[in-house]
Amino acid sequence: MQQDWQPSCSLELLRLRAELLHDIRRFFHGRSVLEVETPLLGDCTGTDPQLAFFSTEFCRTPLQQRLFLQTSPEFAMKRLLAAGSGSIYQICKAFRNGESGRFHNPEFTLLEWYRVGFTLPQLMDEIEALFAGLFNGYGLQAARRMSYQAVFQQHTGLDPLQFCHQDYCAYAVANGLPEAVGLCTDNHLLWLDFIFSHKVQPLLGDNALCMVYGYPACQSSLARISADNPDTVDRLELFINGIELGNGFYELTDADEQDRRFTKEIQVRQEQSLAPVFKDQRLLAALAAGLPDCSGIAIGLDRLLMVLGHAKAISETLSFSIDRA
């Protein structure tokens, strides 16, 4: 049995990680995308009810200040964009509390980038180009693009844009998911997350990059409402072999709309008795000053290494997973 002091991953995976980071930096250097760094500690965090955070106390005598380990560099990077940075990318650590398992470690590595002037289809083109280079020689099949509505209907027969509580309950009971009835109640968002994760996601990206776009508007996150269909948002997610690798948006630039979404998420957190947070006023000020039209995405590099290295668990890609940190 491996001793506790030893690395969680093999030396081969350590080398593969180094090659991956080199290839990513070379890709963006060739496209004149600026590499940046932003703080891992900040005085605000995201309001998303689905994300739990770490916080700490900064002792600055005679005062103390609560700081948060960032769940994503997104807000700080958008402040750089609003300041005129142009297209940027970052490779950094991010932190999410309560997440540990086959696909989760509370400390993980993100690649996040923003392309000024890019629409979501243009961003998908660049993602496809990046993955073609990273997986060169690995036998990955051609990338596929499909709408959320189409893939959800294909695998469940349900329309994700038209919520019918009775139909969703009947589907859950008939397909071995009776617990969803009590867990999801009449919450459309919870139903979509539950059914998608159990019955759709495992079937996506069989040895191919699968890009799912056009998410229901109730899953808006930080994406714009689609100009073509107000029932959807310009959001995409990436999957290979059923593993979610990334989440991207044609970014919301409207400060007032962002403020309203923050308010709604904070209200949900209060209703669910989650840890209190407050709005990132610096982000709102940056949006008000003018965030350029852009699209961006965050990709979990540890999960990407799982696919490249044929690892069964995220711990196999980390020098020291949380149980050995």
- Would residue 6 count as lying in a domain? no
Q: Would the pLDDT of 2 be above 80?
A: no
Region 178-199: mean pLDDT is 95
Beta pairing class for 141-147 and 107-116? unpaired
> Which residues share a beta bridge with 141?
208
Of the chain, the percentage scoring pLDDT greater than 70 comes to: 99
Give the domain range for residue 112: 11-140+207-317
Angle, CA of 160, 163 and 168, to the nearest 5°: 85
Q: Is residue 85 part of a domain?
A: yes
* pLDDT band, residue 64 (cuts 50/70/90): confident
201 inside domain = no
The closest of 225, 252, 223 to 237, measured between CA atoms, is 223
On whether residue 185 sits in a domain, the answer given is no
pLDDT digits (tens, 9 = 90+) for 250-259: 999 999 999 9
Is 1's pLDDT higher than 60?
A: no
What per-residue confidence (pLDDT) applies to 47? 94
pLDDT at 63: 78
Q: CB–CB of 96/79 below 8 Å?
A: no
C-alpha angle with apex 67: 296 to 71, nearest 5 degrees? Answer: 30
Q: Does residue 150 lie within any of the structural domains?
A: no
Looking at the domain assignment, is residue 177 inside a domain? Answer: no
Give a yes or no: residue 82 inside a domain. Answer: yes
Task: Kindly report, residue by residue over 29-57, the tens digit of the pLDDT.
Answer: 999 999 999 999 999 999 999 899 999 99
Q: Tell me, what CATH number does 31's domain have?
A: 3.30.930.10
Q: 283 CB contacts (<8 Å, ≥6 apart)?
A: 44, 75, 78, 79, 258
Letter string b/e over residues 52-83, b meaning 16 or more CB atoms within 10 A of that residue's CB: bbbeeeeeeeeeeeebbbbbbbbbbbbbbbbe
Q: Answer for the pair 322, 106: CB distance below 8 angstroms, yes or no.
A: yes
- Residue 99 has a pLDDT of 82
Structural domain count of the chain: 1
Examine residue 243 and state whether it is found in any structural domain, yes or no: yes
What are φ and ψ of residue 181, in 5° steps? -60, -45
Q: Edge-to-edge strand order for the sheet containing 63-69?
A: 41-42, 63-69, 54-60
Closest CA to 237 of 254, 256, 215: 215
1 Cβ neighbours under 8 A, 6+ residues apart: none
**302 pLDDT higher than 60:** yes
Q: What is the DSSP letter of 251?
A: B
Which tokens belong to 162? Answer: 């038209």
Which residue stretches of the chain are H helix? 11-30, 74-82, 120-134, 148-156, 165-174, 179-184, 188-195, 255-271, 281-290, 301-308
